[in-house]
Every structure is written in C-alpha cells, then in structure tokens.
Structure 1
Amino acid sequence: MDKIWIKDLEIFAYHGVLAEEKRNGQKFYVTVSMDVDLHAAGMTDDLDKTVNYAEVCELIRRTMQEESYDLIEAAAENVADAILLAYPQIKMVHVIVSKPGAPIPMDFDTVCVDITRGRHIAYLGIGSNLGDKEAYLDYAVDQLNKDEYIQVTKVSSYIITEPYGDVEQDDFLNGCLEIETIYSPQDLLAVINDIEQGAGRKRLIHWGPRTLDIDILLYDQEMIMEDTLKVPHVEMAKRAFVLEPLAEIAPYAYHPGYHKTIIELLEILQNKKD
C-alpha cells in the first residue's frame, strides 16, 4: 500500500500527569504515516484524488491542542481516530507522538508512543424470535450505522429458521451483515452488547428466546480465544442459518480456522444433511 508521511510535526500543547505540564505546556512532535492508494493522484496530478496533507496537519494540531491529556498514549489514540474518521480512503494510520520535555531526571533524547490503527472488515450474525423480529433486526442495522466507528456495508436477506438447541420456542428470523469498523474486536463486542440491551435482550436461557442476538462471526483473519470472545464464532460452521445468509453477501470470505471459504463450508454442511 502507498503511504503519505508527515514527520515531526511540532505542536505546543498541554499534556502530562503533572500539574506544571498542564499549566506551562511543552513541545510535542507528531509523526504520521497514512496507508492510501495514490495511483489515481499520481496519474492525474489531481489533489482531489489524494489526501491533503496540509489539512491533515491542521487536524492533528486541533486534536493535540483542543484537549489536555494525561498520557501521550491518549493523544496518539485520538490523533489516529481523528484521521481515520475524517478520511475514509485511509486504510491504516501509524502515529508516533514524541515528548522530548518529559519530566525524567536523566539525560535522554525523547519519549515516544507508537501506535497503528486501521479499518477492519467484520461479519456479524443477527437473529430474533420475539416480538416484531424484522423490526429488531432492522434496529440492529440502524444502531450499528449510527456509530461513527462502524459502517454497515452489506446486509443479507432475512431468513426464517427453526430454533437451535432443545428449548421450545418460536422460529427465528436470521441474517448477516458485513461491516467496516475502526473498533478492536473487544470494543466491537461491547458496542454489540449495548445494542442488544437496548433491544431488551435478557440472557436467561442458553440458546433460549431473545429479542435480538448479534454475534461476531469473523473479524479480518484474526483468531481470538478469550473467555468473553471467540472469533471465528465457534458454532458458525455447524449452522445453516449463519452460513446461508453469510454466503449471500460474502461467499468467498475465508474462515481462518477451517481454511475454507463460507460457500465451501455451506456446501459441506448441506452434503452432511443429504
């Protein structure tokens, strides 16, 4: 991927844990590398085909000066977020915030924080079998789109499916979504849980009825095995109500655990039933 670099942008700001740092301020230096496709700009010599680095510099200055942070980690995080939110064509941003005047009683050059943030493709499964099922699924899509860190890029058809498990309950309405997000998987999970709660979701019975269920199925090619989050979703390859709508919007999405595409997993599952 092509890159635009801004190196050692000098900004006077008021960040630090100590009271005198917030009172007196000091110089910070910000270096940014932005991953962006520059081919069209190079071929046309057109500023509209690239990222205006003068505007980015001003955005960095505002972000660094409009708020006082205790930590340069927070300053770097907010600079990265500001750039990604302002420029959808930037796929990834690398931010270094340097603090040469850090209160360290030794000889040193500078203290730096170095972070990389970017856009991620995730696939979500959505389902409901209580109340107005379609309205609950539409609510999930709407709430995700309202979050500035998320863009819903594809929505599958909704399909009626029999409930999974041994609990007697109404049929489900299920679908899948493709999203682009700046959130980490853990932060995305927190947002999803809030949306479920907003729809009145109560986790009373395992595989029981619910107003709204949202699962992270895939997140880039990451494999996560934590107590609260497992990606890819551990049951997705066994569930036609997941694979069918997912194959509609992303047939060639790749499952990093099974090393197969979604359409391949669906075919395997269908052959088992025949």
Structure 2
Amino acid sequence: MGIIKLENIRVFTNHGCLIEETKIGSDYRVDLEVKANLQKSALSDDLMDTVDYVLLNKIVKEEMAIASKLLETVAKRILDRIFIEANMVTKATVLISKINPPIGGDVEMVTIKMTDKRKS
C-alpha cells in the first residue's frame, strides 16, 4: 500500500448558505489523501501503474467550481468522482477549508473532513 497526498490546493469559489457568500466568493484550501497499491508503479516507473495526481487535482478543481451550500456536499462529490475515475484508489480523505469564514469572529478557517472507502 501507499499514500498520495495533495496538500493546500488553493481555490476561489462561491460556496455558502449566505447570499453574500455566493455573490462575493471566498478562498478555500483543499487537502486530499488517497490510498492505493503503489508497489507496481514503484517497480515499473510507469504512470499507468499509479494514481495520477494531475487527475486528482482536476477532480478537486472541477467539483469546487460547482457552487453548493455545504462543504460536505462538495466533499462527497469529490470522493465519488475519485472512486469512479481513479480505479486504483481504495480509500480517500478530503479536507475542505473555508479561509476567513464569515462567522462573526476571528477564525482563520473552518474545515470539514470526510473519508470514504471503495465499495466492493
């Protein structure tokens, strides 16, 4: 087994429950961790034998671009697409952070974390 991480993917988009959030937009940080068998690619040195992190980044950016009220909804879409498009991934964890959330306090970010496993 092995782990591939994409850390601090920066996105500006329009998620939120407040009308102002969907109009103005916010900065977000996304962190992604996937588990897969990396032994074959370690020997073959062939991209076809591993999880392409370019694909993972593309999935994150495309799903983050679709406005939603809840970050949980976006995280679920990201996880679902990973299991559809990256066949080698057995488990994935995504963290989505809203930077400077409008919650009436001095809060650097609010983060949701979701994990899912490939269904047999």
Shift of 1:55: 1.8
Equivalent residue, structure 2, for 1:35? 35
Please list every run of at least 4 consecutive aligned residues from structure 1 whose deviation after the TM superposition is greater than 6 angstroms.
none
Amino acid at match of 1:98: S
- What is the identity, as a one-letter code, of the residue corresponding to 2:72? E
| Residue identity matched to 2:97 | S
Partner of 1:70: 69
* 1:81 matched residue in structure 2: 80
Q: State the match for 1:235 in structure 2.
A: none
Question: Residue 91 of structure 1 aligns to a residue in which SS?
Answer: strand
SS of corresponding position for 1:74: helix
Instruction: Deviation per CA, 1:184-221: give whole Å up to 9, x if none.
Output: xxxxxxxxxxxxxxxxxxxxxxxxxxxxxxxxxxxxxx
Distance in structure 1 (CA, Å) of the matches to 2:100 and 2:109: 7
Within a 5 Å distance, the mapping from 1:187-206 to structure 2 comes to none
1:1-274 matches, within 5 Å, as 1-65=1-65, 67-120=66-119, 180=120
Q: Secondary structure at the match of 2:89?
A: coil
Q: Any gaps of 5 or more consecutive residues in structure 2?
A: none
Structure 1 Cα separation of the partners of residues 63 and 48 of structure 2: 23
Q: Which has the higher strand share?
A: 2
Correspondence for 1:127: none
How far 1:77 sits from its partner (Å)?
1.0
Q: CA deviation at 1:69?
A: 0.5
Between Structure 1 and Structure 2, whose CA radius of gyration is higher? 1
**Identical-residue share of aligned pairs (%):** 27
* SS state at 1:68 partner: coil
Q: Compute the TM-score of the two structures, normalised by the length of structure 1.
A: 0.43
C-alpha separation in 1, matches of 2:12 and 2:40: 35
Determine if contact 2:100/2:107 at 8 Å carries over to the other structure: no
Q: Normalising to structure 2: TM-score of the pair?
A: 0.95
Cα offset, 1:101, TM superposition: 2.5
| Larger relative contact order (Cα-Cα within 8 Å, sequence gap ≥ 6) | 2
How far residue 20 of structure 1 moved from its aligned partner, in angstroms, is 1.0
Aligned length: 120
